[in-house]
Amino acid sequence: MYLLIRPLGSTAFRWGGVSSILLSGSISTGFFEPLPLPSTIYGLLKYAYIVNGLGQEPPRFRGPVLYAEGGGKTAVCVSLYPQSLYCNVDGEARVVKIEEDMYERRIGVALNRVSKTVKEGYIYMEKMLDLHSLASALLEGEPKKYGVLVEVEDKEKIKKLDGFVAPFGGESRPAVITVEDNVTWKKVGKKLLASPAIIDDGDEKQVTWRDGQSDKKSVELETVEGTDNDKVTYRLISLGFEGNKRFPMVLALMPTVEIKGNYDAIGKYTDRGWGSVVVL
């Protein structure tokens, strides 16, 4: 069972950030990508489950991917870090670079989380991306459906989320959730990492998955043919927030790479979506 999350307008997906002190105060910006981190998906699903009385913990999931269909075509894309997508458009693989002029830049002022009043001297910049425009470009026409797609383990409770609107991404912009019973596409036959994987160590040929993230400890991999990424990328990444608690930074294998070996052993439904593997 799948959930398709469609932002109702441009949205921002921040994968990290920096702050600098200016004469006017502090400015916060960040590293933005065309698809959200799993922590963003987890937060949306947890909000939706609690508000709809479905429980305190959301289901395990796989993804996210960008999905679009229309005009007889289907496009499915995974993150290709940094600021690119590796896409399957009707069975044809292609790389889509997200250029700077595709983003909408917006300036905002930080708010106090308790009082909801402005924090004087603290401003931030967001880079918003219009997924409708991106989907239209991939399909070369108007999309019938588009959004961020995740596959979920819970097949009963999520039916109640169909049509639900929830805050999503930077500035908690609204997005509508639709339940999709059957999603298929012409496969190019690659098993690809769709979200950052939490690891203990790694090199150019294999990684050691962290305990609890996979039932197969050592995973063989290689860079994806046809991309500019000729090296495997690792970086420290934040696992996000829950309440006022910030989770620690961890070492992560960045998407995408091609996973070799036993597909069923890794990346199907993972802890909060980290290290998801999809067959593109």
**Consecutive H or E run containing 47:** helix 38-51
User: Distance between CA atoms of 47 and 241, rounded to whole angstroms?
Assistant: 13
**Consecutive H or E run containing 40:** helix 38-51
The set of residues, in sequence order, having a beta carbon less than 8 Å from that of 226 and lying 6+ positions away, is 93, 95
pLDDT number for residue 163:
97
User: Distance between CA atoms of 218 and 202, rounded to whole angstroms?
Assistant: 9
Q: Which two tokens stand for residue 41?
A: 């998906």
- pLDDT digit string (tens) for 186-238? 999 899 999 999 888 888 888 887 765 555 567 888 899 888 878 899 998 88
Contact 236, 216 (CB under 8 A): no
Please list the ranges in the chain whose pLDDT falls under 70. 17-30, 108-111, 113, 116, 118-122, 124-125, 211-217, 243, 261-267, 271
CA atoms within 13 A on the CB side of 163: 1
- Per-position DSSP letters for 200-256, written without gaps between them: EEE-SSEEEEPBTTBSSSEEEEEPPTTSS--S--EEEEE--EETTEEPPEEEEEPS-
Provide the b/e sequence for 212-235 (b: ≥16 CB within 10 Å): ebbeeeebebebbeeeebeebebe
Task: Compute CA 99 distance to the chain's CA centroid, rounded to the nearest angstrom.
Answer: 18
**Consecutive H or E run containing 148:** strand 145-152
Contact 128, 170 (CB under 8 A): yes
**pTM (predicted TM-score):** 0.88
pLDDT number for residue 88:
97
DSSP 8-state code for residue 11: B
Contact 77, 146 (CB under 8 A): no
- Per-position DSSP letters for 57-123, written without gaps between them: SPPPEEEEEEEEEETTEEEEEEEETTTEEEEEETTEEEEEE--GGGEEEEEEEEE-TTT--EEEEEE
User: Distance between CA atoms of 69 and 73, rounded to whole angstroms?
Assistant: 6
Rounded to whole angstroms, what are the CA distances from 49 to 4, 44, 158, 163, 277?
16, 9, 8, 13, 24
DSSP 8-state code for residue 159: G
User: Distance between CA atoms of 175 and 164, rounded to whole angstroms?
Assistant: 8
